[in-house]
Amino acid sequence: MALIGVFDSGVGGLSILDEALRQLPKHDYIYLADSANAPYGEKSSEWIASRSMELCQYLAKQGCDAIMVACNTATAEAIAHIRAKLSSIPIIGVEPGIKPAAMQSANSIVGVLATEATLKSEKFNALLATLPSNCLFIKQAGAGLVPLIEAGRANSEETLELLAQHLAPIQEAGADTIVLGCTHYPFLRKAIRKLLGDSINLIDTSDAVVRQLKRKLESQEGGVEKSSHGSVKFISSKNAENLLKMAQELIQSDLSKHRIDSALVSAFH
């Protein structure tokens, strides 16, 4: 079985880890949260690219057989460099699901909620340019949402108020579909439904991303097949105990079936 590194600016990538534990429970995982530096979405491209590279190199040094860049922002700014540098292992990224959204939207009006850095990135805009021009995309940066989710306040009044402001242009345009273009945002599903109701179609790509990981692992030399669940190690640059507590709250998969470990690593060298 493989050791898989999963990295995000904070707790957002737990939405991807959760799906990975559901589809691939026997592998071992290291989840790395750079919560000391979250949010990434309002930082410069250069900073995001160099920090993401540093953290992926750290995961590679721990012996990871594959790395999931479980952050749309880091994928947009850094994935090409990371793949070039760490060319011996699969590096799987995550991008806003604008393509499935365009296909699923009945009225071809789609809201895209993502970080400012993702929406401004060349990678995202290149992807957008490949889609049919009959679909209207309303792009909205979710400024301020990530810190609230990091603080465990995804369903608070404050979050609902801020979310209502960010969703207003999307709602006014009449979108029937919203892309959750940041891995933190699946944790806002409940709040979004509270504001917009159950009929709005919410798209996140965690299932597709994990299926991609599965394909990559299948094409590699397999390790010894385990009959039990694998381990999960949670590493934080800020507070490992808090990361573990957040994981237990946010992850739907049964973590008690896995061997759990946590560590605080202030410098990832």
Q: Which stretch binds ligand DGL (CB under 6 A): 54-62, 181-189, 202-210, 225-233?
A: 181-189
Provide the terminal-to-terminal Cα distance of the chain, rounded to the nearest Å: 25
User: Cβ of residue 257: shortest distance to ligand DGL, in angstroms?
Assistant: 26
Count of other CB atoms within 10 angstroms of residue 43: 18
28 binds ligand DGL (CB under 6 A): no
146 binds ligand DGL (CB under 6 A): yes
User: Cβ of residue 199: shortest distance to ligand DGL, in angstroms?
Assistant: 25
Q: Which stretch binds ligand DGL (CB under 6 A): 6-14, 162-170, 192-200, 231-239?
A: 6-14
Q: Distance between CA atoms of 143 and 154, rounded to whole angstroms?
A: 14
Place of tokens 């590493």: 235
Look up 182 and say whether it is catalytic: yes
What's the sign of the alpha-carbon dihedral 178, 139, 195, 143?
Answer: positive
**Helices 72-85 and 45-61, interaxial angle, to 10°?**
60
What tokens appear for 268 in the block? 């990832």
Q: How is the beta sheet containing 3-8 ordered, strand by strand?
A: 91-92, 66-69, 3-8, 28-33, 231-236, 259-264
140 binds ligand DGL (CB under 6 A): no
Closer Cβ to ligand DGL, 115 or 177, answer by number: 115
Closer Cβ to ligand DGL, 10 or 111, answer by number: 10
Phi-psi region at 96: left, alpha or beta (left = phi > 0; alpha = psi -120 to 50): beta
Q: Answer yes or no: are the C-beta atoms of 263 and 240 closer than 8 Å.
A: yes
User: Cβ of residue 37: shortest distance to ligand DGL, in angstroms?
Assistant: 8
Stretch 73-112: interaction string toward ligand DGL, x if CB under 6 A:
x---------------------------------------
User: Cβ of residue 204: shortest distance to ligand DGL, in angstroms?
Assistant: 10
User: Cβ of residue 159: shortest distance to ligand DGL, in angstroms?
Assistant: 15
Out of 3, 8, 27, 55, which residue is the one contacting ligand DGL (CB under 6 A)?
8
Look up 64 and say whether it is catalytic: no
Active site residues: 71, 182
